[in-house]
Amino acid sequence: MALVNENFLKLPGNYLFSDIAKKVNAFKVIHPEAKLIRLGIGDVTRPLAPAVTQALHAAVEEMGNEETFRGYGPEQGYRFLIDAIIKNDYEPLGVKLDPDEVFVSDGAKSDTGNIGDILRRDNRVAVTDPVYPVYVDTNVMGGRAGELGEDGCWNNIVYIPCNAENNFIPQLPEKRVDMIYLCYPNNPTGTVLTKKELKKWVDYALENEVLILFDAAYEAFIQEDDVPHSIYEIKGAKQCAIEFRSFSKTAGFTGLRCGFTVVPKELIGRTADGQKVAINPIWNRRQTTKFNGTAYIIQKAAEAIYSPQGKIQVRETINFYMENAKIIREGLAETGLQLFGGVNAPYVWLKTPNDISSWKFFDRLLYECHVVGTPGVGFGPSGEGYFRLTAFGNRMNTQEAVERIKNWKI
């Protein structure tokens, strides 16, 4: 008899986006004529940069040619891409990395989820709340979360609330933890940590031997100087942090699939009997066994975003989204709604007025403005009373949604 991993049975269904879809469908039946505007999705909408599609075409031709055909590549990624990453993403920050510290992957979702493979089940996990659900759910699957309580929290996970009261700056946990997920710029709140604030976390992690799992998927959206693009800009971070990056939001690769993870060779963990072990070779072993590399043509496409043309084109798209974010922020500022994020990230996080619930706000926005967003409570208990709007829409819809909300009697 095959016994299943019962941790999977503990997981409640992920109903957030299906609940949203049901509510939107019900609305459409009642109001078939209404022009709905969707500012809820966390997916990009602009097409790939021409430099990327050219690289894709060229790589496809190579694969169809006997002389240039390639089969299995290195599980860690091709050197042409790893070298481009180090040269363009890290050297300008003053961060030196060896090629074998960078692992190309099929995206940050897989890696932030898979990292649990190499970490013992009895580590205590901390997350900021609200949170990207992958961190929590994969720890439930791995048996680290305990049981789900009435309050929506898993009893073995330490939740660090991020809300308007603390200005979305997570406090260091009072309880001892072994690993913590930090996502900055943050999804869903769109907020960031300054260098000084992130240093506080690195210092704490070094002092207490905590592993920081740093998700920098939105790094390319940072506009302000004092916001770190990589955790390795902070001294000592190579000894306590793994960094996850993705080309998904940076360059519209949500459908192509490519990202990378940095596991510094200085990063040390411990065995249960207290011996120090390097984490890099363990992750390498995991990847070479369970992962067979990102497709060659996709890695060639990713390399193209670092070409002179690619850089300009990718920047134009990011600027386009950030202009949307500005339109939302500045437009809604007049409404008196309390707004957060949207400056260094493509998400605007708002406090619902008069303490109405996230879902009540969702329903009213849908029925009274015909605008779809995402209820904050869907990202964790501390998201209750908040709401997320994304900057990934087209310009006209974004402007119109803002106009409708401005004219709305909330």
Ligand X SMILES: *Cc1c(COP(=O)(O)O)cnc(C)c1O
Which one, 42 or 146, has the nearer CB to ligand X?
42
Place of tokens 């604030």: 197
- Name the site residues for ligand X (rule: CB under 6 A): 42, 107-109, 132, 183, 187, 215, 217, 246, 248-249, 254, 259
Least spacing, CB of residue 314 vs ligand X, in Å: 15
Which one, 78 or 244, has the nearer CB to ligand X?
244
Which residue number is nearest to ligand X in terms of Cβ?
107
Least spacing, CB of residue 258 vs ligand X, in Å: 8
Q: Are 206 and 200 in contact (CB under 8 A)?
A: no
Which one, 214 or 362, has the nearer CB to ligand X?
214
CA dihedral 263, 268, 270, 275 (to 10 degrees): 140
Which one, 40 or 259, has the nearer CB to ligand X?
259
Structure tokens at 179: 């690993």
Kindly write down the DSSP assignment for every residue of 239-280, as one continuous string.
GTEEEEEEHHHHHSTTTT--EEEE--TT-EEE-TTS-EEESH
**C-alpha distances in Å from residue 108, one per residue of 87, 254, 297:** 20, 10, 18
Least spacing, CB of residue 88 vs ligand X, in Å: 18
| DSSP state at residue 374 | E
Which one, 187 or 374, has the nearer CB to ligand X?
187
CA dihedral for 317, 320, 324, 330, sign (positive or negative): positive
- Measure the CA angle with vertex 98, ends 92 and 102; round to 5°: 90
Structure tokens at 82: 């790893």
Least spacing, CB of residue 169 vs ligand X, in Å: 18
Least spacing, CB of residue 198 vs ligand X, in Å: 16
Least spacing, CB of residue 108 vs ligand X, in Å: 4
Phi/psi at 133 (5° precision): -60, -20
Which one, 304 or 369, has the nearer CB to ligand X?
304
